[in-house]
Amino acid sequence: MSRSAPVVPALVLALVLAACDGGGGQGTPGGPGLRDPYFPKAGNGGYDVTHYDLRLAYDPGSRRLTGTAGITARATQDLSAFDLDLKGLDVRTVTVEGEQARWDRAGQELTVRPRDVLHDGETFQVTVRYAGTPLTLTDQDGSKEGWLPTADGAIALGEPTGSMTWFPGNHHPSDKATYDIAVTVPKGLTAVSDGEPSGETTAGGRTTFSWHTAEPMASYVATVAIGRYQVARSTVGGALPAYVAVDPARAKESRAVLAKLPEVMEWAETNFGPYPFSSTGVIVDRQDEVGYALETQNRPVFPGVLDTDTLVHELVHQWYGNSVTPRTWRDMWLSEGFATYAEWLWNEDQGGDSAQETFDSLYDGDYFGTAEADAAVWAFPPAKPSGAAYISDPPVYWRGAMVLQKIRQTVGDDTFYDIVQGWAAAHRHGNADTAQFTAYVERQAPDKDFGAIWRDWLYGDGKPPHR
């Protein structure tokens, strides 16, 4: 690229050159995505976030959010510029290392140009001030996510991309971080989030609720729930703090299932190993547009319905999904297949259908009650969803669970439980992909042949020829 040289006063030129000096050269832009196979612009190149410090204020009446996002990150290359993901909202100011930075926006990319090059390995601090009415997103599969207003507040749900509607960040499951989230709401309302409560102060008719997440969290399972809640604090298994927040209008019909939280947690620890996080809980709200629960970290959100199977499913996601997090959105079955399989195990252990019976009825096409729904399980292989619109489709959940039953058939119960516990331990608080999983299983049972399972059940098109 050739450019006519502007006339630059010598002193300014010297200062610019000095700023670019420092052994790292000028650096290059980090890039707008992480090449996710389904969401190529999700996340950003050139840095890893280690901590988010989010200070938010929300007024349900005006639906206005005001935020300050403090982001601590480490450069993984010399950076002349880097992107954050943010959809909607108005950016006011951006600073890097305390200095005003230039920025611009295009789609979901907020591109920041720090005054000085950030060097590979350097830890740096970004502060973004922003405000506006956060968006509700409609995904390619038609489901709603992002910021979801309720009758008395709002809930934030971020799978797969909705968290960029309420804070700027590196919104890809491969970049996990710790969080401090403080939410200021009108007095009388409560703000619940992930992790543990770390403070509550009221001043000037508003209350600030602070939450601390000490274990790494993917941004898609970060949440904020604002509204009137009945809050119950307890402990599970004698030591683990539990924080349960329930919309009063759902309290009565939720009570029986919520009472099972300790039992489900203890059952899950027996089967899947030590719980990976420092608190548990549940959030039950009313949000009519959302037809699904989400495994938000520490405490899943149920937007209205709460049944035992779904409670089991969302709690087991804490092990598979939230602690062992898919590396990309292609690896989603490692999250959904495990959580679905856990429902089958729960029912088996409760004296209901065995996991093999559930598998058989899916294979025989008499599980869902309509031929169309039963056929949908075979639409694509679980490890290769047909596109971004399909990552939450039946093959990822049910056929993914069937892969686990195939492994159990092959190795027997003792080795199977060693595998699922060992997998959770090996990748605790990390990310993992399908190739790592198949290699792990093969290492745990070196005398068995998994070739046909991987070929037909995990990667093969159509219904596998043999159960």
Nearest Cα to 160, choosing from 401, 30, 325, 280?
325
Binding to ligand TRP (CB under 6 A) within 283-312 occurs at 292-295
Q: How far is the CB of 464 from Zn ion (least distance, A)?
A: 23
141 binds, options Zn ion, ligand TRP, none, Cβ within 5 to 8 A by partner type: ligand TRP
Q: Is 314 in the site for ligand TRP (CB under 6 A)?
A: yes
Distance CA 360, CA 323 (A): 30
Binding to ligand TRP (CB under 6 A) within 18-37 occurs at none
Tell which one of 109, 159, 331, 374 touches ligand TRP (CB under 6 A).
Answer: 159
Q: Is 195 helix (H, G, I), strand (E, B) or coil?
A: coil
Binding to ligand TRP (CB under 6 A) within 119-158 occurs at 141, 143
396 binds, options ligand TRP, Zn ion, none, Cβ within 5 to 8 A by partner type: none
Nearest Cα to 138, choosing from 128, 146, 127?
146
Q: Is 368 in the site for ligand TRP (CB under 6 A)?
A: no
Instruction: Judge contact between 94 and 128, C-beta under 8 A.
Output: yes
Q: Which is nearer to ligand TRP, 318 or 436 (CB)?
A: 318
Tell which one of 83, 116, 336, 343 touches Zn ion (CB under 5 A).
Answer: 336
Residue carrying structure tokens 């559930």:
358
Q: Which is nearer to ligand TRP, 393 or 456 (CB)?
A: 393
Q: Is 157 in the site for Zn ion (CB under 5 A)?
A: no
Q: Which residues contact 88 (CB under 8 A, 6 or more apart)?
A: 132, 133, 134, 135, 165
Distance CA 262, CA 204 (A): 38
Q: How far is the CB of 17 from ligand TRP (least distance, A)?
A: 50
332 binds, options ligand TRP, Zn ion, none, Cβ within 5 to 8 A by partner type: none
**Binding footprint of ligand TRP, residue count (CB under 6 A):** 12
Helix 261-272 × helix 308-316 angle, to 10°: 50
Q: What is the per-residue binding string for ligand TRP in 329-348, x denoting contact by CB under 6 A? A: -------x------------
Q: Which is nearer to Zn ion, 290 or 339 (CB)?
A: 339
143 binds, options ligand TRP, Zn ion, none, Cβ within 5 to 8 A by partner type: ligand TRP
Q: How far is the CB of 144 from ligand TRP (least distance, A)?
A: 9
Q: How far is the CB of 218 from ligand TRP (least distance, A)?
A: 12
Span near Zn ion by CB under 5 A; candidates 329-337, 382-390, 426-434, 458-466: 329-337
159 binds, options Zn ion, ligand TRP, none, Cβ within 5 to 8 A by partner type: ligand TRP
For residues 243-261, b (16+ Cβ closer than 10 Å) or e, as one string? bbbbbeebeeebeebbeeb
Instruction: Judge contact between 84 and 169, C-beta under 8 A.
Output: yes
Q: How far is the CB of 141 from ligand TRP (least distance, A)?
A: 5
Q: How far is the CB of 321 from ligand TRP (least distance, A)?
A: 8
Q: Which is nearer to Zn ion, 94 or 391 (CB)?
A: 391
Instruction: Judge contact between 109 and 32, C-beta under 8 A.
Output: yes
Q: Using CB atoms, what's the residue nearest to Zn ion?
A: 339
What are 177's two structure tokens?
């971080």
Q: What angle do CA 14, 15, 19 make, to 5 degrees?
A: 120
DSSP, res 457: I
Q: How far is the CB of 206 from ligand TRP (least distance, A)?
A: 31
Q: What is the per-residue binding string for Zn ion in 99-118, x denoting contact by CB under 5 A? A: --------------------
C-alpha distances (whole Å) from 241 to each of 235, 236, 279, 298 are 4, 6, 5, 10
* HSE-up of residue 368 (Cα within 13 Å, Cβ side): 12
Distance CA 321, CA 220 (A): 10
215 binds, options Zn ion, ligand TRP, none, Cβ within 5 to 8 A by partner type: none
Binding to ligand TRP (CB under 6 A) within 389-408 occurs at 392
**Binding footprint of Zn ion, residue count (CB under 5 A):** 2
Q: How far is the CB of 339 from ligand TRP (least distance, A)?
A: 6
Q: Is 352 helix (H, G, I), strand (E, B) or coil?
A: coil
Q: Is 76 in the site for ligand TRP (CB under 6 A)?
A: no
Neighbours of 75 (CB within 10 A): 21
Q: What angle do CA 372, 378, 381 make, to 5 degrees?
A: 150
* Helix or strand holding residue 334 (H, E): helix 333-349
Q: Is 339 in the site for Zn ion (CB under 5 A)?
A: yes
For residues 346-379, b (16+ Cβ closer than 10 Å) or e, as one string? bbeeeeeeebeebbeebbeeebbeeeeebebbbb
For residues 77-109, b (16+ Cβ closer than 10 Å) or e, as one string? bbbbbbbbbbbbbebeebbbeeeebebeeeebb
Q: Which is nearer to Zn ion, 59 or 433 (CB)?
A: 433
Q: How far is the CB of 11 from ligand TRP (least distance, A)?
A: 56
Q: Is 96 helix (H, G, I), strand (E, B) or coil?
A: strand
Q: Which is nearer to Zn ion, 116 or 295 (CB)?
A: 295
Binding site for Zn ion (CB under 5 A): 336, 339
Binding site for ligand TRP (CB under 6 A): 141, 143, 159, 292-295, 313-314, 317, 336, 392
